[in-house]
Amino acid sequence: MKPTTILIAGVAALTLAACSSGGTRYSSANAVRSPAVLFSTGPIFSACRSAGRKQASRERCGCVQAVANQSLSADDQRRGARFFSDPHQAQVVRQSDRSTDERFWRKWRDYSDRAARLCT
pLDDT for 86? 94
pLDDT in tens, 75-108: 999 999 999 999 999 999 999 999 999 999 999 9
Most confident of 5-9, 36-40, 65-69: 65-69
**3-state DSSP call for residue 103?**
helix
For the chain, what percent of residues have pLDDT higher than 70? Answer: 70
Instruction: Provide CB contacts within 8 A for 5, sequence distance 6+.
Output: none
Mean pLDDT score of the chain, rounded to an integer? 78
**3-state DSSP call for residue 55?**
coil
Does residue 81 contact residue 47 with C-beta atoms inside 8 Å? Answer: yes
Q: Greater confidence, 6 or 29? A: 29
Best CA proximity match to 72, nearest among 33, 113, 37, 36: 113
pTM of the shown model: 0.69
